Amino acid sequence: MSRNDSKYFSTTKKGEIPELKEELNSQYKDKRKDAVKKVIAAMTVGKDVSSLFTDVVNCMQTENLELKKLVYLYLINYAKSQPDLAILAVNTFVKDSQDPNPLIRALAVRTMGCIRVDKITEYLCDPLQRCLKDDDPYVRKTAAICVAKLYDINAELVEDRGFLESLKDLISDNNPMVVANAVAALAEIQENNSRPIFEISSHTLSKLLTALNECTEWGQVFILDALSRYKAADAREAENIVERVTPRLQHANCAVVLSAVKMILLQMELITSTDVVRNLCKKMAPPLVTLLSAEPEIQYVALRNINLIVQRRPTILAHEIKVFFCKYNDPIYVKMEKLEIMIKLASDRNIDQVLLEFKEYATEVDVDFVRKAVRAIGCCAIKLERAAERCISVLLELIKIKVNYVVQEAIIVIKDIFRRYPNTYESIIATLCESLDTLDEPEAKASMIWIIGEYAERIDNADELLESFLESFPEEPAQVQLQLLTATVKLFLKKPTEGPQQMIQVVLNNATVETDNPDLRDRAYIYWRLLSTDPEAAKDVVLAEKPVITDDSNQLESSLLDDLLANIATLSSVYHKPPDVFVTRVLSSAQRTEDEDYVEGSETGFSESPANPANGPASSPSTARQSAPASATGALATPPSVAPVPDLLGDLMGMDNSIVPVDQPATPSGPPLPILLPASTGQGLQISAQLTRQDGQIFYSLLFENNTQVTLDGFMIQFNKNTFGVAAAEPLQVPQLQPGMSARTHLPMVTLQNMSQGPPSSLLQVAVKNNQQPVWYFNDKFLLHVFFTEDGRMERSSFLETWRSLPDSNEVSKDFPAIVIGSAEATLERLPASNMFFIAKRKNGNQDVFYFSAKLPRGIPFLIELTTVIGNPGVKCAIKSPSPEMSALFFEALETLLMG
């Protein structure tokens, strides 16, 4: 529609549909054309004009290309809601696919591919087969994309009719745009298929390289992405490919440039000649620099990609650090990325100008940017030993400015510098101590306290400085309290005089009697026991030499970096996450229906109403669960009061054994459950139960066994307050239990509903009653991994950043001397099933160190480090979490998981 067609969007009167119907059936062509434009305008603004389907389809029989396009647009929009009527258009489609005009042929095939109606799909095959071999390249390239659309609708049909082979034949087409579209279609099909469908051979390679120079910019992107997945046979072939692709670096389109860089980087891994690699690095620098002259949004994307590139090939931009200096009008997100890259490119050669920049940034007005700049100075000091002294000089100059947040950030990074270079720069401590009164942030306070405690013997008034912090000990955050406790113990061990002795008494008393933080209390008791029994042992523990830290916070793990470099110029390289982390595959309709069977947000809380009517049996558990979500409001439906109907299908297939005699062997419907209420205690009623997690939902699996002489019914259940607020999401569904019968059910649970106060506990207190017996009380014990959520996987960079951001006081460790990890592979397969996700692995001497992440509800992360010698007894586990009080519960769960 042209710009003059805006009149069709103006409001029309009430009789719009009848009038349009009349105009669509007019004998005048112009009137019909105007009517279709009005229909499209109404459709565009959200009006329902589906009742005109038949009348619009009648207008398809026209030679006017503009009118035909409008009708096809209408069909694409309404065919899914009118599949039976859409078949009326099939004959016209087939006829148009043989029209002398190539534009009409292509239009027909494109539209048929966009109409996702199964009934039409089979009619599409013959016209598509013809168009794939059409004389006109425009029709062929349109048909190539249509194959990918058809594959998404019916993959089996595409393979049976040989469309994939036809698509592969188009790669040898003499038209470069046809080649590009064929590559794009095959790549899309390959993404949704696990078996290899599109593999580049040496013959195909030359065809793609030839087409690369002649097709449009987006065609070049598709071809370059395909070439990046090709593994060259040897270094010589890799050099030839790179030589043919290098001219693409000069392209005006940023996507083409980044795709070419990706392809060259991947092929460079096979090139052995250092001269060739050096020349390629020189050639890649100018186009990457040029990207930084674009608008801020493109700059940001380029910077995120460059961040990855310089981690693998820092020499590419080693001499171009000035282009990453921040401009006054750069958006904050661009400035932050430039800082990250400047840290990576900082070297002994350019550190002076880099520090001048960082110092300038530290006087800016944006607080977050200033903090990042100060941290960047600290990172450079840790990274470059020769430049550490210059970095500290800059930090001291910034401290003298007396800007509160700058001073506090400087103290935090100086603490890390002390840990990197012990006994080297302690002369500046006096300057730091002058700023004690300005500290109000927990991390800065904790860092300063650590410095005072670590170097107490060199600070004359260390006891006075710590005493000033102790006045507010009960009100301080946990990380400050933990550092104060440790620093006071260090002071006492280094200066066992009367002053520190009184301080240690006050601190230990506050940390054991006046606090409700279990981590602080436990550490205080350990120190107390050490100091009271063996002061020398306490010195060995508390004053032990600490390992020197290294700066790897800005480096990605090698395997993750490889994955991201293979995805340069995609969202993956912007997020710095592999595609499978944020791209979810589309579920089939059967899976979706299954996932929607559970109603979330139930307000029932505890199951206090009877599971069954007092005078009538209920349906089987499986029947009740399936009928529960049927209510449109999301409330749980009550089970019908009718006699249970045997599930013959389930019984024949061995899928349902909810009611079986106790003494009759039966295929269990799940793993054996621990007995919580034995028959001897429950007057013949035996209850086995356990909390489990399935498909992201927590269930309480229960097995009821009636060993009495009477029928039991009217079962109810209630849970006492507990650490995770576990409660029933719906009433308990248990059928009448005849003597000698058993019933198993899975009760959906909710969390954070019924939380108890006090320290975390794995205790779950349960009450169950029925109409014939008194209330039975029993205790269950849940394992923490049941609550680990499915979104607990972290990237290595996020893992390192989170580990570093959490204070050392949040780290808790425990030894498991009896556990043997016989196979690393088996462990790595077992733990993810409980939502403990593998992050990385490294060697430490003869030991293997594994890192995992997990997450509790409300987004509480657990960072886990397992150290062991494969095949030998003994596993050490260290965890860091914002909630260290959960550590004891975690260790119980881990021991169960590792013992398998």
Give residue 706's pLDDT.
92
| pLDDT, tens only, 60-80 | 777 777 888 888 888 888 877
Homologous superfamily, domain 6-233: Leucine-rich Repeat Variant (1.25.10.10)
Q: Choose between 801 and 3: higher pLDDT.
A: 801
Residue 639's pLDDT band (boundaries 50, 70, 90)? very low
> Would the pLDDT of 663 be above 70?
no
> Would the pLDDT of 615 be above 70?
no
Give residue 894's pLDDT.
80
The arithmetic mean of pLDDT across residues 308-322, rounded, is 89
Distance, CA of 369 to CA of 333 (rounded, Å): 9
The arithmetic mean of pLDDT across residues 544-567, rounded, is 81
Give residue 584's pLDDT.
67
| pLDDT, tens only, 349-381 | 999 999 999 999 998 888 999 999 999 999 999
| pLDDT, tens only, 766-796 | 999 998 998 889 999 888 888 888 888 888 8
> Would the pLDDT of 605 be above 60?
no
> Would the pLDDT of 45 be above 70?
yes
Of the candidates 864, 847, 191, 808, which has an alpha carbon nearest to the alpha carbon of residue 453?
A: 808
Residue 59's pLDDT band (boundaries 50, 70, 90)? confident
Give residue 510's pLDDT.
86
Give residue 5's pLDDT.
61
Stretch among 57-71, 91-105, 332-346, 742-756 having the lowest mean pLDDT: 57-71
Cβ atoms of 482 and 812 within 8 Å: the answer is no
| pLDDT, tens only, 429-485 | 888 888 887 888 899 999 999 999 888 888 888 888 888 888 888 888 989 999 999
> Would the pLDDT of 594 be above 60?
no
Of the candidates 424, 370, 417, 426, which has an alpha carbon nearest to the alpha carbon of residue 398?
A: 370
Give residue 2's pLDDT.
57
The arithmetic mean of pLDDT across residues 652-674, rounded, is 45
Distance, CA of 897 to CA of 831 (rounded, Å): 7
Give residue 704's pLDDT.
92
Of the candidates 104, 153, 154, which has an alpha carbon nearest to the alpha carbon of residue 131?
A: 104
Give residue 354's pLDDT.
92
**Between helices 462-470 and 442-454, what is the axis angle to 10°?**
150
Q: Choose between 853 and 154: higher pLDDT.
A: 853
Contacts of 717 by beta carbon, 8 Å cutoff, 6+ apart: 607, 611, 702, 728, 732, 747, 766, 767, 768
The answer as to CATH 3.30.310.10 being correct for domain 787-899 is yes
The arithmetic mean of pLDDT across residues 406-414, rounded, is 91
Give residue 73's pLDDT.
84
Give residue 357's pLDDT.
92
Contacts of 426 by beta carbon, 8 Å cutoff, 6+ apart: 418, 455, 458
> Would the pLDDT of 667 be above 60?
no
Give residue 845's pLDDT.
81
Q: Choose between 258 and 436: higher pLDDT.
A: 258
Residue 3's pLDDT band (boundaries 50, 70, 90)? low
Give residue 600's pLDDT.
35
The arithmetic mean of pLDDT across residues 244-253, rounded, is 89
The domain locations on the chain are 6-233, 441-552, 675-782, 787-899
The arithmetic mean of pLDDT across residues 695-723, rounded, is 89
The 3-state DSSP composition of the chain as helix, strand, coil percent (nearest 5) reads: 55, 10, 35
Give residue 305's pLDDT.
93
Give residue 427's pLDDT.
86
Cβ atoms of 310 and 345 within 8 Å: the answer is yes
Stretch among 139-148, 219-228, 397-406, 491-500 having the lowest mean pLDDT: 491-500
Radius of gyration (C-alpha) of the chain in whole angstroms: 35
> Would the pLDDT of 634 be above 50?
no
Burial of 414 (0-12, 13-18, 19+ CB in 10 A): buried
Distance, CA of 295 to CA of 11 (rounded, Å): 40
The arithmetic mean of pLDDT across residues 655-660, rounded, is 35
Distance, CA of 108 to CA of 688 (rounded, Å): 64
Distance, CA of 867 to CA of 844 (rounded, Å): 9
Distance, CA of 361 to CA of 324 (rounded, Å): 13
| pLDDT, tens only, 477-524 | 989 999 999 999 998 888 887 778 888 888 888 888 888 889 999 999
> Would the pLDDT of 618 be above 50?
no
Give residue 334's pLDDT.
94
> Would the pLDDT of 145 be above 70?
yes
pTM of the model: 0.61
Stretch among 13-27, 365-379, 629-643, 799-813 having the lowest mean pLDDT: 629-643
> Would the pLDDT of 870 be above 60?
yes
Residue 10's pLDDT band (boundaries 50, 70, 90)? low
> Would the pLDDT of 810 be above 70?
yes
The arithmetic mean of pLDDT across residues 218-228, rounded, is 89
Contacts of 128 by beta carbon, 8 Å cutoff, 6+ apart: 109, 112, 113, 143, 146, 147, 150, 163
Distance, CA of 345 to CA of 380 (rounded, Å): 10
- Proportion of the chain above pLDDT 70, given as a percent: 88
523-535 burial, b if ≥16 CB within 10 A, otherwise e?
bbeebbebbeeee
Supply the mean pLDDT for the chain: 81
Give residue 611's pLDDT.
37
Residue 342's pLDDT band (boundaries 50, 70, 90)? very high
Residue 591's pLDDT band (boundaries 50, 70, 90)? very low
Contacts of 544 by beta carbon, 8 Å cutoff, 6+ apart: none
| pLDDT, tens only, 516-552 | 889 999 999 999 898 888 888 888 888 888 888 877 6
Give residue 394's pLDDT.
92
Residue 404, CA distances (Å) to 288, 428, 448, 841 in order:
38, 18, 14, 40
CATH of domain 675-782: 2.60.40.1150
> Would the pLDDT of 204 be above 60?
yes
Give residue 23's pLDDT.
80
